[in-house]
Amino acid sequence: MRLLLVEDDAQLSKRLKASLKQAGFAVDVAENGLDAEHAGMEIDYDIVVLDLGLPQKSGIEVLQQWRNKNRKMPVIILTARDAWYERVDGFKAGADDYLGKPFHVEELLARIRALIRRQHEDAPNKFHLRGYVLDEEKQQLLNDETVIELTGIEFRLLRYFLLHPGKILSKTRLTEHVYENDADKDSNVIEVYVNHLRKKIGKDIIETRRGQGYIFRSDD
């Protein structure tokens, strides 16, 4: 899950980025309105966390620009300006959710997860896979007896597959949604992680389409 965090307070964004990464998101940070607008136009983010009081261009304007250019990624506004008229204006500009500062990270994560789930309407409340349940907070697959631990990248990759079952996903697309901007990207690394997942869950769970990418087979 690729996430854009737009926040001008460096201290807050540093901590928030760490928390979000830990929760399994590939996090890019934009510190001003113009950078944010550009990033949102160029990259298909799975979710955006947007502050409103930004230097150079206000969050509302940035959001309006995205929506005008038909950028439909879910946006959650995270701001200290939480008067009701500001919320109404935020939603009118195209926001999908609104969270007032100060907030707790769990609150933000819960809202992000709910929003992503709403975005993929057919996604279940909890992901089930071959008798296992995906615990998004602990990043584990569980059944009554065993626990399968997942690394950060494995978890991100698996969750992306789970949200897009039965679709051909190219390596580039997977890379884009699993890694953040500043990561050392090599789409061949995806192959390695796909193999890890196959080993942990089952070989036939991810089918390779030569020259096209992978298809996730969620047979339950």
Partner 1 sequence: MYSLQSRLGLWLGLMLVLIFGLHMLLMSNFPRYLAEEHILTRLQHDGESLYARLIIESGKAPRLSKGPLSPIYKTPLSGHYFFVQAGEHTLRSPSLEGETLDMPEVHPGGSTVLRLDGPLQKKLLMWVSETRKNGQAFTLAVAEDIEDIDEDISELRKAYFIGTSVTVLLLIFLQRFVIRRTLKPIEKTRKELLAIEAGEASKINQEVPSEIQPLVSQINRLLEVMHKRIERSRNASGNLAHALKTPLSILNQVAETPEILAHPELSKEISQISATIKTAIDRELKRARLVGGALPGQCFYADRELPELVDVMQKIFAEKSLHFDVSIPAGKKYSADREDMLELFGNLLDNACKWAKQHVKLIIMDEPGLYFVVEDDGEGVEKEALKSLTQRGNRLDEKIPGHGLGLSIVQEIVEQYGGQIEFGISEKLGGFSVRISLPETL
**CB contact set of 151 (below 8 Å; sequence gap of 6+):** 196
Which of the residues 11 through 30 are near partner 1 (CB under 8 A)? 11-12, 15-16, 19
Q: Does 97 bind partner 1 (CB under 8 A)?
A: yes
Structure-token match 């051909």, residue found? 168
Instruction: Select the span of 64-72, 79-87, 139-147, 204-212 touching partner 1 (CB under 8 A).
Output: 79-87
Size of the site for partner 1 (CB under 8 A): 28
Phi, psi (5° rounding) for residue 215? -125, 130
Q: Does 80 bind partner 1 (CB under 8 A)?
A: yes
Q: Does 105 bind partner 1 (CB under 8 A)?
A: yes
Q: Does 91 bind partner 1 (CB under 8 A)?
A: yes
Binding-site member from 68, 70, 84, 182 for partner 1 (CB under 8 A): 84
Q: Does 113 bind partner 1 (CB under 8 A)?
A: no
Instruction: Select the span of 28-36, 76-84, 127-135, 169-177 touching partner 1 (CB under 8 A).
Output: 76-84
Binding-site member from 34, 43, 73, 114 for partner 1 (CB under 8 A): 114
Burial tier of 125 (Cβ tally within 10 Å: 0-12, 13-18, 19+): exposed
Q: Are 111 and 49 in contact (CB under 8 A)?
A: no
Q: Are 3 and 26 in contact (CB under 8 A)?
A: yes
Which of the residues 144 through 203 are near partner 1 (CB under 8 A)? none
Q: What are the tokens at 108?
A: 């933000």
R_g of the chain, CA atoms, integer Å? 18
Q: Which is nearer to partner 1, 87 or 196 (CB)?
A: 87
- Residue 112 to residues 44, 108, 137, 167, 183, Cα–Cα distance (Å): 16, 6, 13, 23, 22
Q: Does 123 bind partner 1 (CB under 8 A)?
A: no
Q: Is 184 helix (H, G, I), strand (E, B) or coil?
A: coil
In the complex, least distance from residue 159 CB atom to partner 1, rounded to whole angstroms: 20
Using CB under 8 A, list all residues that contact partner 1.
9, 11-12, 15-16, 19, 53, 79-81, 83-85, 87-88, 91-92, 96-98, 100-105, 114, 118
